[in-house]
Amino acid sequence: MTLSLLSLNYKTTPVELREKLAISAAHLPEIIQEARQGADLEELMILSTCNRVEYYLVDNPEGNGTARLAEWLNHRFLVEPGELDHSALFLDNQSALTHLFRVACALESMVVGEPQILGQLKDAFRLACEAGTVGAELTGLMPKVFRTAKRVRTETGISRFAVSVSHVAADLAARIFDTLEDKTVLVIGAGEMAELALSNLRRKGINRLLITNRTFANGVALAEKFEGEAVRYESMPEHLAQADIVISSTGARGYVIDQEMVRQAVKTRRGNPMFFIDIAVPRNIDPKVNDLADAYLYDIDDLQEAADSNRKEREREAHAAQEIITEEIARYGQWKSAGQVTPLVTALREHFTTTGKAELEKTLSRLRHLNDQDAEQIRKLVHSMVNKLLHLPSTRLKVMSDEPNAGLYSDIIRQMFDLSPLAEAAPEGESGTGKKSGPAPDKKIVNFPPGRKS
């Protein structure tokens, strides 16, 4: 079995398509089971974040799993014909494996080294385990991936230059104005991303924070933590005109701010501009807001320029991180090959032992004149001969497991001694739990894209 990948990420796929395919944690167990069954896959794990939706899969022996999955996605999410072909990244074998390790180590993130992705990947694996869509392959692989990510964060300096998307959003808010000390920011949402944005805004000296959330108690808790004001969600339109900057990060599937709401807010502000930073996927703010005078909208893809701060430093550390990844992938390959050979060696020994024992007992039944002591000596002799004859082949098989043709050698041995194929299993100690089943820019607004305004 080998790993394959279907990826829709910020490098290849616009946010308009990513938000169609985004999956909330609440719906992921249902979707992952449906996708695995619909595409006829052996194993499946789905990672869905604001910057990527990725399907890591182990295909059945017939192959073409990514093609079947793409077809299922087209039907399930009503994607326009050809959209996936132009935007999706399809990888197999070593390329898919390398991508997974790089994602876990935050080398594929918009901000290289950002800390959130590893936790998101761990959650994705946990949810797949709970849904019963992982087996020996992913169960054996993912602990190695997590260990590698830990090594990268421990042994390189990549995290020194790492910031989250929420950090970038707050940084953008600070750079839009020369100072935030006399500005008001409205944050919509009370999740992890919103909390990180609030934390960064406070450090940048924001004067007034308004916080709103569908669950008012959660908004109140954040307001108390960051010395802000909690606003009831249903009264948000009335407070919108007070905000110089609006940062939105909720899990809503539809827009929580539409063009008419902003039109009224801009009218009330009498020419004072409003800036909207939408870091949610699916997006929370209607893109038509950007058509209004004095309203400027930035979505998750517009944050790339701000995310490029400290690029040179991160690239240097990313090179060191890639060396660790290459080393760990090689170790994983050796571990996996050894694990595949172990059942073959066991089967070979059982075959010889069973055959030798059967022939021994048949011979002893004709040598009734031997006493028990002599018969036992003959049994020990046969047992010793079988072990000595198999010692060299067993050792050679384990050594050859690192070679490119290891699978071919194994098949030859199975056919030569008529050994029945063994079901793949995770190597000892890691059995499966699932079923098959440069310098920063000046603080001037001209340094940032005007919210896609032409």
Structural domain ending residue among the three candidates 262, 283, 308: 308
What are the E-state strand segments in 25-115? 43-48, 52-58, 89-92
* Model pLDDT for residues 135-156, shown as the tens digit of each residue: 988 998 999 999 999 999 999 9
Determine, yes or no, domain membership for 326.
Answer: no
Cα 25 versus chain centre, distance: 13
Q: What pLDDT is recorded for position 425?
A: 36
* Model pLDDT for residues 323-369, shown as the tens digit of each residue: 999 999 988 887 776 666 677 778 888 888 888 888 888 888 888 88
Q: Counting every residue, how long is the chain?
A: 454
Lowest mean pLDDT among 22-31, 123-132, 427-436: 427-436
* Backbone φ, ψ for residue 29 (5° rounding): -55, -40
Q: What pLDDT is recorded for position 438?
A: 38
Domain match, 157 and 183 both = no
Task: Look up 129 and say whether it is catalytic.
Answer: no
The DSSP result for 300-338, as a single string, is: GGGGHHHHTTTHHHHHHHHHHHHHHHHHHHHHHHHHHHH
Q: What pLDDT is recorded for position 10?
A: 92
Domain match, 175 and 113 both = no
Higher pLDDT, 10 or 63: 10
Determine, yes or no, domain membership for 318.
Answer: no
**DSSP annotation of 425:** -
Domain match, 169 and 156 both = no
CATH code of 113's domain: 3.30.460.30
Structural domain ending residue among the three candidates 114, 129, 162: 162
Q: Which of 5, 6, 50, 79 is catalytic?
A: 50
Q: Quick one: tokens of 52?
A: 């990527």
Q: What percent of the chain has pLDDT over 90?
A: 46
Determine, yes or no, domain membership for 344.
Answer: no
To which residue do tokens 């993912």 refer? 142
DSSP strand pairing (208-213 vs 184-188) = parallel
Sheet of 52-58: strand order equals 43-48, 52-58, 3-9, 89-92
Higher pLDDT, 452 or 341: 341
In the predicted model, what is the mean pLDDT of residues 390-419? Answer: 72
At 430, the pLDDT band (50, 70, 90 cuts) reads very low
Neighbours of 405 (CB within 10 A): 10
* Model pLDDT for residues 309-320, shown as the tens digit of each residue: 556 667 788 888
Domain range for 250 is: 165-308
Whether 439 shows a pLDDT value over 50: the answer reads no
Domain match, 181 and 288 both = yes
